[in-house]
A and B are shown apart, each in its own frame.
Chain A
Amino acid sequence: MIDFRSVSKKYGRHNGLSNISFSLEQGKIYGLLGPNGSGKSTALKLIAGLVSPTSGQVIVKGKEANRKAAADVIYLTEVDIFYPSFKIKDMIDYYDSQFQDFSVIKARELLDFMNLEEDRKIKNLSKGNRGRLKLVLALSRQASVLLLDEPFSGLDPMVRDSIVKGLLSYIDFEKQTVIIATHEIDEIEPLLDDVIALSDGEFLGMFNVEELREKEGLSIIEWMRRTFKE
């Protein structure tokens, strides 16, 4: 589904990612873990085709990732993606016009689920509601790859909870591959199949969450504390 083949990404003289390789399968939920600056966002942007590798290849559904990958990839970024003068409805209409897999019906259902009103101006929304709206826009698409970059960043526990519930209710667990980059994994631990660990742009490994629990008797948080301390 997604292949990283000896991928390196440099930003000027700084190494974003250093020669990393791994493969991701369809229908799994991955946690992309690591401290700030570990290369998580860069890895997601590479899959979304928003940045290009300095060397190596990123393959998404058999094709080298480029900007056109947006047709197959949903990318929820950490930054504020909204145009301040827009209403929620305008953002829905805009996404509907740009992405063929966008479902307005699903968007309205999600808005209800998240308690958001279409006529509200985005600039008047709280940070939590903006986070919810980002998820509404992402989950209203039916693309096979869903990338979530720090979806819980700066959000209170209630919003985090509604986001997790949204994910549980609206992800197509068989068809969609979900990659969640975060360093706050309390809420998503039960969702994850595998975790990928990155540190300073280096690939530390990919681990099955069940095996970590069963063989090493560690929760992901405990495993992270141990891994990133070393």
Chain B
Amino acid sequence: MIQAYKGLLTKDIKVMKNYYFLGMGLILLAVVGGGLLTKYFKEPNIMAAVMLMVLFAHIMYIPLFILASLNIEAKTQTWLHNPNSAALLLLSKLGSALVAYLFSICFTLLLAAAVYFLYPSAEFYTLIQGSLLTNTLYMSIAITFVTIYFAVWILFYWSFFHSLKNVSVAGALRWPILILFWIIQTIAGNYITSSKWFEKIISIGVIEADAKWLSIDLEVNQSSASIGMNPTVEISLVHGLIYTLLVIFLFYLSAWLIEKKVEV
């Protein structure tokens, strides 16, 4: 199984090599664009803001990477003609996307460091409370969790979409069904997370953590306001557990759909 996974991972990384370089190119383009604007307007804050945007854009990195990779597979009949489990095939997609993501986010952080040393006077940095380095690392970790979470949803929606292909009537209405499902999922999700019983559940096992990295002061005409002013944040372990279980459930549901319902 390890050899099979290694083979799949190598294949997925090779197949997506061009997309990876495209991602790097877009980051460089954003940095060059930001640099030119900074020079033109003589405003170092632009560069710092661009770097923050590039960092946050990584939230969509793994979902988009996986979607592109799955769409390449959909064009051939090679991927599913494979004796290994669908879970292994999907795990390789996640693994290859994670490898590319880690390179990309490290590259972004290095560029951000370079930008910091080039424009140390930008006021933008003073808006972030606490250590810039620590806060940026916390932000990157949070972005990593969010991008993996979205990626698993993409796996599920892709599998769901393709499993409808050969279902009579539903096959022709795949997009409306998918959109309807997304609307229902969003409404149900909002209903559950705003309900009192859910709040009670997630209040179990709450720990307090330093959250200065979430707090950015915004100065407006001498008076100061801030987003996420709490110096500490409450992290619910149950909440984390629920999301972890949801991710595992969606992953295996996607694998089951591919195993049983997706046809070539």
Contact = CB atoms under 8 A, between A and B. Distances in A.
Given A77-B81, A97-B4, 14 more contacts: A12-B168, A45-B263, A50-B81, A51-B264, A52-B263, A67-B82, A70-B83, A75-B77, A81-B77, A85-B15, A85-B18, A86-B15, A93-B10, A94-B7
Contact of A79 (B3, B14, B76): B76
B8 interface: yes
Size range of the interface on B? Answer: 20 to 34
Contact of B168 (A10, A45, A82): A10
A80 B77 CA distance: 8
Given A11-B166, A52-B263, A70-B81, A94 B11 contact: yes
B214 to A, nearest CB: 41
Nearest to B83: A71
Q: Tell me whether chain B's interface is mostly helix, strand or loop, or mixed.
A: helix
Size range of the interface on A? Answer: 20 to 34
B17 interface: yes
Nearest to B17: A85
A48 B86 CA distance: 15
Contacts of B39: none
B80 interface: yes
Interface in A38-70: 45, 48, 50-52, 66-68, 70
A151 to B, nearest CB: 14
Contact of B14 (A11, A66, A71, A83): A83
Interface of B: 3-4, 6-8, 10-11, 14-15, 17-18, 72, 76-78, 80-84, 86, 166-169, 171-172, 259-260, 263-264
B263 to A, nearest CB: 4
A223 interface: no
Nearest to A51: B263
A226 interface: no
B4 A98 contact: yes
A98 B168 contact: no
